[in-house]
Structures are given as C-alpha cells and as structure tokens.
Structure 1
Amino acid sequence: MRSVDWDTFRDLMINATLETLYMVALAAVFTLAIGLPVGVALFLTRKQGLFPNRLIAGVLNVLVNVGRALPFVVLLIAIIPFTRLIIGTTLGSTAAVVPITLGAFPFFARIVENALDEVDRGRVEAVVAMGGNSWHIISRVLLPEALPSLLSGSTLTIVMLIGFSAMAGVIGGGGLGDLAIRYGYQRFDNQIMVGTVLVLLLMVFVVQKAGDRLVGALAHRR
C-alpha cells in the first residue's frame, strides 16, 4: 500500500498523539487516586502492619495479585461489558481509560506498599507514642517519608500507562496504538508505523526524564 501524503500524515499523528495524551493523563489520575489508598490499606492491614486486619488484607491482596497477573490484552476484552455499562460504548479514548486504569492501579498499589515499607519504623512509633492517630501517621510520617519512592513509582506507572494506551488500539481505543494498527499494520504503511513508534518512545523518554529530575530534586532538598 502507498504511504499517506505528508499533510495527512501530520494530521493523523497530531490527532493520535493528543488522544494518547488524553488517555494517559486521565488514566494516571484515576490510577493514582485508586492505587494510593489501596496501597496504604495493604501496608496498614497486613499481618505486621499497624492495624492488622486479616479479612481486608486478604481481599486486597487477592484483588491486587489478580490484577497484576492478568495479561492486559485479556483484560481489555474481558471487561468490554463493564466498560460499555460505565461509558456507554467500548470505542474511543474515553472508553479505553476504564481498562487502562483497572490494569494499572494494582501495580501502583503494590509500589505504594513497598514504598511505605521503606519508611523508618522508629518515626512511626514516635508519632504513636505522642498520641497520633492513623491519619497523623499516614499524612505526617508515611507519605512524606516515602515521597521520593512514590514519585519514582508514579513515573514507572505512567510509562506503563503509555504502553497500555498503545495496546488499547486493539479494541478501537484510539490514539497512537489504534493508528499503528489501522494504518501501519492493516495498510502496511511503514511511514505511520515508524512515526507512532518514535512518538511513543519520545513520550516515555520525556516522562522518565521529568520523573527522574523530580525525584533527584526532592532527594537533594532532603
């Protein structure tokens, strides 16, 4: 098949890039908003946690482990009815945010749990000794002390979201992945394929670089 002309190529790439940025940004907000409290709950309710609760810890661990173990492409297809129930359609960038979020938040929740595990136990015990409640422990000790690790984990999660957004093209999720499938693969257009790969790589590079700089700046201030 003949490659598209430059004007068409430019328009297709711009529109697909904007759709991908929209998907990643929206999915990142939901992933962080869901994954953070789940990760904190995992840390607090586990056997050696501050507020052990076998039932809650067991349910959350099963949820997170299943979410991490299930291949994303399988998840995309499996939750099509759920996506249609929430969004009203399974096509487009907004619909793709649902499976992307469900596929990513278990990963981030485990990152949060591991980040909190690195916090000095002595600081937590000091707040407890001074009569601090669970909110004081979380907001004044755990999250501030784990912030560098959380930022690093957030960067890694957003990079993963970029990859998920590309895979969402399999079910018509829009963005660069959809463009690569419809033009690069189905129409054998190498120009489109190379363009989408380069833009995705650039996104990953920018996100990783920005995240590393934030973590470095925070570590330097400390």
Structure 2
Amino acid sequence: MEWLNSIFPNVAKLWPYIVKSLNETLIMVSISGVFAALLGVPLGIVLAVTKKGELLSFPPLYSILSKIVNTVRSIPFVILIASIPWLVRAIVGTTIGMKGAIVPLIIACIPFMAKQTELALQSIDKGVIEAYRAMGFSEIAIIFKVMLKEGFSAIIQAVTIMLVGLISYSAVAGSVGGGGLGDFAIRYGYGQNKTDVMFLTIVIMLVMVFFVQWVGDSLSKLVSHR
C-alpha cells in the first residue's frame, strides 16, 4: 500500500471525512433523483398529451407548463441555489448542508425530466396510438398501456442522464455549503492546497458516473428487448 500512500499522502488521515462526504452525496443524489422522477415524469406526460394535435390536446395548458419548464431549465444551478433560499428554508428549515441542497437539486432536475419524458413519448409512432384508438381504447388507457410502455426505455435513459447530472450538481451544491464530495473537495483539497485530495474526489465522482451510466444503459436495453 506504500505506492497508494505516495500517490495520496493526505488521504489516510482524511478517510473518515471522505466516507462521510460520499454518503452525503449518495443520499443527496438518491433522494433528489427519486423526487425529480416522481414529479418530472407525470409533468412530462401532461406536456406530451396536451400539445396541439396530441391525445388530449389542450394548447393553453401546454403553453403555460412549457414556458415554466423552459424558464427553470435555463437558470444556471448556482444562480438557482442563490435565488431560492427562502423556499428552501420554508421546506426543510435550513439553507446549508445536505438538507439545504436537496430542494434546489430537485427543482433543477424536474424540468429536465419533464422535457425528456415529453420527447420520449412524442417519439412514439403515431400510427400505433391511432390503432389503439380505433380498437376502442380510452385516452387514459393509451397513455398507461401504450405510450408509457413504448417510451419506458427512453425514460430510463432520461433518468440515467438526470442522475449523472445530479452528481455534478451535488458537487456544485457542496462548493457553496451543501455538503457531500463538493464540500469535501473545496474544504480539504482546494482550501488546503492538497492536490491528491482533489484528484481522489474526481476519481470517486467518475466511478459514480460510470456506474450509474452502466446500470442505466443495461436497464434500458433490457426493457427495450422486451
């Protein structure tokens, strides 16, 4: 293990902080990802079916929701964190630490999930939908039994991309007091000029990204084969 100590001379004494920071990042990404998917996918379904000419066409509703989604998507994450401390404090009671970072992470990812879900559902062959309508299927039945089934693989890919983005966002949140690996890298790496700590943090985050991408790609392929 001497070679490892030579590469990361400061890691041994900081190992408990590394483990703590990794756990915080995993918790932030997991909770934010679940809530962003639970809220973003239904919103994406509404966008997909209310667009002009779609299954439940309602252009006024689509226009309002689409503008909200596009507006929030255009806000850089750092600015989003700085602009909603009042909302974060009202929901979780604090604007710092892991709890304070989760709300902005969720808000940042809901529009992304909604837009990706919309695109996934709109890519479905319209002939398939019309065939089920001709067979007497209701609009609700078509949404749940046809559109979601056909678009499920693409939605899994969207969730995968969102989780990868969340890993990056969590590091940004950590750099402004949100905890996790970003906070660790700034506090013990950049702040104390310890290059090995910064390098190790990057390696850990890359491993997380590769793992999430591998799992997402595998699940997407498994579902699409069905």
What TM-score do the two structures reach when normalised by structure 2?
0.92
2:155 pairs, out of 150, 154, 161, with 150
Matched residue count = 219
The equivalent residue for 1:88 is 93
Paired position in structure 1 for 2:201? 196
User: Does structure 2 retain, via aligned residues, the 8 Å contact 1:77–1:171?
Assistant: no
**Is the 2:10–2:196 Cα contact (8 Å) retained in structure 1?**
no
Matched letter for residue 186 of structure 1:
G
Residue 102 of structure 1 is matched in structure 2 by: 107
Determine the structure 1 residue equivalent to 2:173. 168
* Superimposed CA distance per residue, residues 15-43 of structure 1 (whole angstroms, 9 cap, x where no aligned partner): 10000000000000011011101101111
User: What is the rounded CA distance, in whole Å, between the counterparts of 2:37 and 2:89 in structure 1?
Assistant: 23
The residue that corresponds to 1:122 in the other structure is 127
1:152 CA displacement: 1.0
Asked whether the 8 Å contact 2:116–2:158 carries over to 1, the reply is yes
Contact 1:184–1:192 (CA under 8 A) maintained in structure 2: yes
Letter in 2 for 1:131: G
Contact in 1 for aligned 2:10/2:194 (Cα 8 Å): no
Q: Does 1:44 align with 2:49?
A: yes
Q: Detail structure 1 runs of 4+ shifted over 3 Å in the superposition.
A: 3-7
What is the CA distance between 1:4 and its match in structure 2?
7.5
| Partner residue, 2:136 | 131
Partner of 2:192: 187
Alpha-carbon distance, 1:214 to partner: 1.3
Give 3-state SS (helix, strand or coil) of 1:119's partner: coil
Shift of 1:97: 0.8
Question: How do 1:42-81 residues align onto structure 2 when only pairs under 5 Å count?
Answer: 42-81=47-86
How big is the shift at 1:126?
A: 2.3
Q: Secondary structure at the match of 1:200?
A: helix
Single out whichever of 7-16 and 31-40 deviates more from structure 2. 7-16
**Percent pairwise identity:** 38
**Pairwise CA RMSD:** 1.5
Secondary structure of the equivalent of 1:127? helix
Measured after TM superposition, the shift of residue 80 of structure 1 is: 1.1
Relative to the length of structure 1, the TM-score reads 0.94
